[in-house]
Amino acid sequence: MFNIILFGPPGSGKGTQSEKLIAQYNLKHLSTGDILRSEIAASTPLGLEAKKIMDLGQLVPDEVVIGMISSAIEANPLVNGFLFDGFPRTTAQAEALDKLLKLKGTEIGVVLALEVSEEELLKRLLNRGLTSGRSDDTNEFIIKNRIVEYKNKTSIVADYYKAFDKVVNIKGEGSLDEIFTELCKEIDKRTAEQ
Ligand code: B4P
């Protein structure tokens, strides 16, 4: 099993590149953002609570997202590996993920961290907001708050994995194919070492 974390600030291309990576490597895609949005679409109690938080550009509580990921891992016992997209976003989430994977006799193979300037993030998300129907993409103030949340709570997750020599920084600006090629190079290098 080879498990990947696709890491980066909101709008860095995690969701976009995940689609290409799961097709290339036959991985199970676990996006906490997508799971939360499907809960919202189904108007579940969890979704209704999460929507209020997401519309402020804040992070949903750790216990909620950890529970979602734990269930998703349990529900997929026979996969080549997981691609975690938008998770973990706090150190508590990273520690919980390590424990969950350890119980399955596996671990994170690599953390691919997409680097994109703040100006470009804002531009991309406002642009997506024109068509996505996502209420957290339409307001500049909320997008900026998501970036602040990233800086305060999420960027330190990279330090957590750096201690295990698992982080590779990838330039997240350029064409989708150029970025995808760089991501694949790093995955191929690490899987060949296994
Ligand atoms: P997410 O769903 O994870 O969304 P995101 O980080 O905003 O977007 P992503 O990074 O995947 O977007 P992409 O670049 O692909 O989170 C939404 C919210 O859910 C969070 O704010 C939080 O409230 C909550 N949440 C989720 N997970 C959580 C967790 N673990 N803990 C707590 N709360 C959690 O796409 C952006 C745009 O850029 C697209 O329009 C795309 O087409 C474009 N783009 C991508 N690559 C490009 C490129 N190379 N050039 C030009 N444009 C590009």
pLDDT tens per residue, range 105-147: 999 999 999 999 999 999 999 999 999 989 899 999 999 999 9
Q: Does residue 57 carry a pLDDT above 80?
A: yes
- For residue 78, the 8-state DSSP code is S
Distances in whole angstroms, Cα of residue 194 to Cα of each of 86, 141, 183, 190:
25, 44, 17, 7
Which atom, in ligand 1's list, is nearest to the CA of 149?
21
- For residue 137, the 8-state DSSP code is G
State the average pLDDT for the chain: 96
pLDDT of residue 56: 96
Distances in whole angstroms, Cα of residue 108 to Cα of each of 55, 85, 121, 159, 191:
30, 13, 27, 14, 12
Distance between CA atoms of 18 and 4, rounded to whole angstroms?
Answer: 10
Tokens of 58: 């804040």
Q: What tens digit of pLDDT does each residue of 63-114 get?
A: 999 999 999 999 999 899 999 999 999 999 999 999 999 999 999 999 999 9
State in Å: Cα 10 to ligand 1 middle. 4
Q: Does residue 24 carry a pLDDT above 80?
A: yes
pLDDT of residue 192: 87
Ligand 1 binding site (Cβ under 6 Å of any ligand atom): 10-16, 32-33, 36, 53-54, 59-60, 65, 86-87, 89, 93, 124, 128, 136, 146, 176, 179
Tokens of 152: 């305060």
Angle ∠(173,1,153) on CA atoms, nearest 5: 45
Sign of CA dihedral 80, 81, 83, 84: positive
- Once rounded to an integer, what is the mean pLDDT over residues 21-25? 97
H or E element at residue 83: strand 82-85
pLDDT of residue 133: 87
Which atom, in ligand 1's list, is nearest to the CA of 18?
15
Q: Does residue 194 carry a pLDDT above 80?
A: no
Contact status, residue 93 vs residue 56, Cβ threshold 8 Å: no
pTM confidence score = 0.95
- Once rounded to an integer, what is the mean pLDDT over residues 30-54? 96
pLDDT of residue 35: 97
pLDDT of residue 150: 98
Amino acid making up residue 105: G
